[in-house]
Structure 1
Amino acid sequence: MLNKPMRPALAPACSFSDEEREAVYRAINERRDVRDQFLPTPLPDDVLMRLLQAAHQAPSVGFMQPWNFIVVRDANKREQAWKAFSKANDEAANMFEGERKATYQTLKLEGIRKAPVNLIVTCDRSRGGKVVLGRTHNKQMDLYSTVCAVQNLWLAARAEGIGVGWVSIFKDDDMRALFNIPDEIEIIAYLCIGYVDELYTQPELAAKGWRQRLELKDLIFEEEWNRQSN
């Protein structure tokens, strides 16, 4: 006899209190990409586990939970990762010209060495089997799911008074070799994590004149692409 599936547990979908709701929006509005302001204060294991648990609570297509987390504390490993970044960063600087290049070169990107914890977030695209519910027609959904895990961690970190910086300037092959990451595993994010005592009141790139936030009203269409409300 087949076992009947258990009835899913349900709970009331109540709205948050005013204070709880304000805290959620505050974390969203005050989240920053931290590049250089990390303190040397160690990150306690229980706090790191809370952040990882927040990441693990992210939504995922087909509930495949494709993420893994490589925690990097070793100073030598972080120094080697910084060298891989630095090499790619020099190449990136040469892709800009004139004033743009000069501004780029003033940006401090020292999180890899300064933050006490580095975290590599990966995506195992084979998890869940060949056919995954919800990914049958959009094969990128597992990647998007893993990015949701990164955002969860980032918002939880803000609530803890912890800064997070997302490093994207490196060659995958360099990081794969350094951290023994198999070719079939996608590297989604290299994060620098640590306490900070101050944050920019606006995104750092906006504060330093690189780019300003776009107007939301210009990004909203009605019913179809490029049709804006009157």
Structure 2
Amino acid sequence: MKLTTLSLSVITCLALTSCATYDPYTGDKEVSNATKGAGIGAGVATLIAYLANKDEDDVRKRNQRILKAAAGGAAIGGGVGYYMDTQEAELRKQLRGSGVSVVRDGDNINLVMPGNITFNSGKSDIAPSFLSVLDSVVLVLKEFDKTLVVVAGHTDSSGSTALNQNLSEQRAQSVSNYLSNAGVLADRLDAVGFGELQPIADNNTAEGKELNRRVEITLLPIAQ
């Protein structure tokens, strides 16, 4: 993974210039409420720092295992943009009408899953009604198997910091476990919780809290 390139794309996103999002019900391009404030996926900058602190040798070995298991057994190479374009199009097709936002940032794809459709309040068990949506994600992840899949949990500011951190980790792990049990290679999955530290809206309003309670799945291409 080229973390330097990824970091630059995140900075561009946070400058509110290139992060396009689409209404999941119509497919129309729009500027989301979260993007108007700080940008959907504002926690991605922290995600990059998290990944950058991984042991480089461990990351290299993990990527080798992923590519060995992937179709073709080689890195994406020079066709990263096309590979992610095709994956993005399939995700939009599968997730239309699901309530999940598909956000493209450079060569990365972020799936923003609001807490009100993924989990019951204060719980880390995935809502049964949302399992079919995750199954649709699984179909795409299996087809496009040369990506790292980072599942990040986020909460609003209600409750203690420790409680929120624990809940965010549990929710991220629940989603990661579901993907793994459904057949996504475990080496591709990384689960992390950010608690209440990465809000994308105002925690002083009910609407803002609802936006902040979310799980984001970020797809990062594995390329040379």
- Would you say same fold, with TM above 0.5? no
The structure with the greater share of residues assigned to helix is: 2
Using the size of structure 2 for normalisation, the TM-score is 0.27
Bigger relative CO (Cα 8 Å, ≥ 6 apart): 1
* TM-score, normalization by structure 1: 0.26
